[in-house]
Amino acid sequence: MKPLLKTTVAALMLTIAASAGAFAATPKDTLVMAYVIDDIISLDPAEIYAFSDSEYQANTYDHLLVLDLKNPSQLLNKAAESWSVSQDGKTFTFKIRSGIKFQSGNDLTAEDAAFSLQRYVILDKSPAFILDQFGLSKDNAKEKIRAKDASTLEIELDKAYAPSFFLNCLTYTSSIVDKKLVMSHEQNGDLGNGWLKTNYAGSGPFFLKEWKPNESLSLVTNQHYWGGVPKIKRVLIKNVTESATQQLLLQKGDVDIIRNMTGDQLTTLQKDSNVKIVSAAKATLWYLALNTKNQYLAKPEVRQALKYLIDYDGLTNTLFKGVGKPHQTILPDGQLGASDALPYTLNVDKAKDLLKQAGVPDGFSITMDTTNKTQTMELAQAIQSTWAKAGIKLEIKPADNKETLTKYRARQHDIYVGQWGSDYQDPHSNAEGFATNKDNSDNAKTKPLAWRNSWDIPDLTTEVYAARDEMDSTKRAAMYQDIQQKVLDNGPYIVMFQQIETAAVGKNVDGFILGPTFDLNFYHDVVKH
Amino acid sequence: MKASIRVIISVASTLLGLLLITFVIGRVLPVDPVLAVVGDHASAEVYARTRQEMGIDLPIYQQFWIYLSHVLRGDLGMSLRTSHPVLDDIRQVFPATLELATAGTLIGIIIGVPAGVWAAVRKDRWQDHLIRFVGLFGYSVPIFWLGLMGLLLFYAKLSWLPGPGRLDFGYEDSVDSVTGIMLIDTWLSGDMDMFVNAIMHLILPASILGYFSLAYISRMTRSLMLGQLRQEYILTARVKGVPERIIIWRHAMGNILVPLLTVIVLSYASLLEGSVLTETVFVWHGLGLYITDSLFSVDMTAVMGGTLVIGCAFILINMLTDVAYRVLDPRAR
């Protein structure tokens, strides 16, 4: 027994000694990123609606237009070399850039662009509503979205819309797929959806190499990209769900970028000289939703009182330090007409007054459904302690994100704490979400946030749609200012922060870009020294 | 003939019961399964249509029957979360768990059994206390914390071991997934650096699980051994002058092999279910993580597929154990 044991141990030690230090650091030409990518459930652009999948299609497909990050109210022409709109404002014409080739070698033409846009509407998956709102539907998509010739695309809308609004929506829904390749995999009239869910048919700066769901996503550079070939040759994104593990990987140099830092980690890594922090305000808001079905929350004075019972400053300096900035209106900074008013501060006396006016001077008991992620839980606990100062007993109910969301969508909550991200960078996205409620009944066809909180607002709803249709940008902005004020005064929401997305990047890596939405996070400028 | 039919019926009904219970649990969960597929921002129309496509409003027994008829044809369905067939997903994740569980149990046995014997032989002396303390620590400390501490110490601070994952990220895509067991696949590839790398990556997570495993195994070994050492035949053997080593390792050990095997098998089976926390910390994409993520998305097709595989593995292990009993225990023949 003994000699065998000795030999085994010796062999093991030798192996360890031989390998120590021989670990492959990240290769010079590969960007390695640790990121939670378990929200990717399909690679078909016509289905993509979440975060990391939006980022994926932004880096691997060409779009007609893209937002100019340096000047967010402007658009950059990409696959569309130029665009124009008809006299009656209903028909948009795009000249498709020539010389763009798909990975397959096929040329990118207006036919591919038309096909790609039609797919969004016909397949009618989650992002379809962004185009549907312009009067496009399964029945008319092929007629209204058409390729006049190989380089001209026409889209006919149901009426005139502000070009900025329509084009903005288009930036999110114009990933151009290779029609010939996709249709060669069509089954049962699915327009290739079954195949494209796990495959790739694009022309962007990066091609898909492999997607292992919840494990990794690897991309390889398009060496013939018309917009300039990226310097790095490969991108490898590893799904690492534990933030502490992400940090260790970065500090050892085994990954170049990490994306899911907690507030504490941000503070630590900011002091680390081997790492730099990249951040960008996102069009995502942290808010509390107050269900006006609840007898207390039905009273406007109570809702106001609660708005005065949040320690905005305290939270900004602690829990949300670096990862959130104070914001109290429903339109995030960066969108047309967004207001940065911060009317509410922590004021316990004022809150108590308001509660007295509402007839509940001694407070009341109420529940809050909370996703059991650390940051959300800590926020809930902070709120619980300030509310207690005015006699409000808050019971926190933690559960998995999907469970709390299910309850919220069914109007079964008292209070819900969470985030809301804009679908596109136009004010209509959030205005529609927060300030419209076409039908407050239980059988309503649309169930936006106002519906979830039983906020019955026929007049405000009309105002929001009028603002959407207003062609003059200045007038439009003014209308949104009014809408935001109305929501601030009366709405069943307490908006607290605008999210700041942060990433920690190795000091030898430059050019990683974070934009206001996830489809504006780019890898194409990354350089490793 | 009759015996094998009974076995088949027993196995089939166990698996059926397993699937049924899992299915019902999935239905009872207060989470909306459509949500995971369409997202929170989807229009009511998309939501309604997807709900219909998913067949959620069909009666429970009908849904279950549809699922069952697919399974009998070898089709475990499509995962809503990965858009891949569940069978393909499991083919990728199960070997990872198998590799980790096996390595962990081997460590548990190799260290745990001798430790338990030693503790029994040195009962109430300092060796006994030390082993029991170390064992208790391993059993009580949260495995998540232990894993992170291990990474912090051996990877981040000392650089003795590589980081999380089954291979260095640089080897991504370089190995053909033949069996799914990294040690075997890297060996088959011929690239010895990669093979060694796979071993190195396995050491820490396997040791963490092994620690957990040996805590239990050493304790059980100790108590089984003590039970034997109290017996009269031990005294007889000593009086007869039989060397202590033979008394312990041949006579006493031989008599505890059967219950010890049960202990080891139970420990192995529990590791086979996949230690979610270890898999999370070490980015080890195994069955535990797969089933947990699927559960939170109410991707019941994936959960049931995973449960079925574990059920089958468990049944298989039990059968092999029964055979082993007959080999080890002359009385059972």
User: Treating both helix axes as pointing N-terminal to C-terminal, what angle do B182-189 and B192-229 enclose, rounded to 10 degrees?
Assistant: 140
Which of B49, B72, B95 delimits the end of a domain?
Answer: B72
Spell out the SS3 assignment of B240-277.
HCCCHHHHHHHHHHHHHHHHHHHHHHHHHHHHHCCCHH
Do B212 and B274 fall into the same domain? yes
Q: Which of A56, A246, A254, A438 to mutate to test the interface with B (most CBs of B within 10 A)?
A: A254
A22 pLDDT more than 50: no
Which chain B residue lies closest to A409 (C-alpha atoms)? B40
Between strands A275-290 and A324-326, the pairing is unpaired
A61 pLDDT more than 90: yes
- The CB density around residue A1, as the number of other CB atoms within 10 Å, is 8
Whether the CA torsion B146, B151, B156, B160 is positive or negative: it is positive
Do B44 and B101 fall into the same domain? no
What is the span of the domain harbouring residue B17?
2-72
Which stretches does DSSP call E strand in A213-303? 216-221, 234-239, 257-258, 275-290
The average pLDDT across A113-119 equals: 97
The DSSP line for A313-380 is HHHHHTTTTTTEEE--SSS-TTSTT----------HHHHHHHHHHTT-TT--EEEEEEE-SHHHHHHH
The average pLDDT across A125-129 equals: 90
CB under 8 Å to B258, separation ≥6 — which residues? B325, B328, B329, B332
- ipTM value: 0.83
Query: Could you give the CA distance from residue A213 to residue B88 in angstroms, rounded to a whole number?
Result: 11
Do B45 and B11 fall into the same domain? yes
Count the domains in chain B: 2
Task: Report CB contact under 8 Å: A252, B156.
Answer: yes
Question: Is B180 contained in some domain?
Answer: yes
Of chain A residues 423-452, which have a CB less than 8 A from chain B? Answer: 423, 444-447
Task: Report CB contact under 8 Å: B41, A407.
Answer: no
Do B97 and B132 fall into the same domain? yes
Do B269 and B312 fall into the same domain? yes
Å between A356 CA and nearest CA of chain B: 37
A15 pLDDT more than 70: no
Taking only Cα atoms into account, the Rg of chain B, rounded to an integer number of angstroms, comes to 24
Q: Percent of chain B beyond pLDDT 90?
A: 34
Do B315 and B191 fall into the same domain? yes
Which chain A residue lies closest to B92 (C-alpha atoms)? A212
Question: Is B81 contained in some domain?
Answer: no
Q: Which two tokens stand for residue A446?
A: 């649309």
Do B54 and B147 fall into the same domain? no
Question: Is B106 contained in some domain?
Answer: yes
Question: Is B77 contained in some domain?
Answer: no
- Tell me which amino acid residue B293 is: D
Partners of residue B193 in chain A, C-beta under 8 Å = 22
Q: State the 10-residue block means of pLDDT for chain B, 333 residues long.
A: 83 89 85 83 85 85 89 89 90 93 94 92 90 87 90 92 89 82 90 91 94 90 92 90 88 88 90 84 91 86 91 88 82 65
Place of tokens 């996503």: A217
> Chain B contact for A124, CB < 8 A?
yes
Do B98 and B42 fall into the same domain? no
Query: Could you give the CA distance from residue A197 to residue A210 in angstroms, rounded to a whole number?
Result: 12
Which of B72, B95, B127 delimits the end of a domain?
Answer: B72
Please return the burial class of B116, using the count of CB atoms within 10 Å of its CB with bins 0-12, 13-18 and 19+.
Answer: buried
Question: Is B242 contained in some domain?
Answer: yes
Do B125 and B244 fall into the same domain? yes
Closest by Cβ to B171, choosing from A24, A209, A249: A24
Which of B72, B98, B114 delimits the end of a domain?
Answer: B72
A128 pLDDT more than 70: yes
Do B282 and B324 fall into the same domain? yes
Å between A92 CA and nearest CA of chain B: 25
Question: Is B79 contained in some domain?
Answer: no
Query: Could you give the CA distance from residue A72 to residue B97 in angstroms, rounded to a whole number?
Result: 47
Partners of residue B173 in chain A, C-beta under 8 Å = 209-210, 218
Do B163 and B294 fall into the same domain? yes
- Band (pLDDT 50/70/90 cuts) for residue A20 is very low
pLDDT tens digits for range A472-509 = 889 999 999 999 999 999 999 999 999 999 999 999 99
CATH for B324: 1.10.3720.10
pLDDT tens digits for range B160-204 = 999 899 998 878 777 888 888 999 999 988 888 899 999 999 999
Query: Could you give the CA distance from residue B63 to residue B23 in angstroms, rounded to a whole number?
Result: 9
In the predicted model, what is the mean pLDDT of chain A? Answer: 91
Which chain B residue lies closest to A408 (C-alpha atoms)? B40
Q: What is the pLDDT of residue A5?
A: 57
- Tell me which amino acid residue B281 is: V
Contacts A–B by Cβ distance under 8 A: 158
Q: Which two tokens stand for residue A122?
A: 């016909």
Question: Is B325 contained in some domain?
Answer: yes
Place of tokens 């019941």: B300
Task: Report CB contact under 8 Å: A444, B44.
Answer: yes
Q: What is the pLDDT of residue B139?
A: 80
Q: What is the pTM of this model?
A: 0.86
Of chain A residues 389-408, which have a CB less than 8 A from chain B? Answer: 400-403, 405-407
Question: Is B168 contained in some domain?
Answer: yes
Do B172 and B199 fall into the same domain? yes
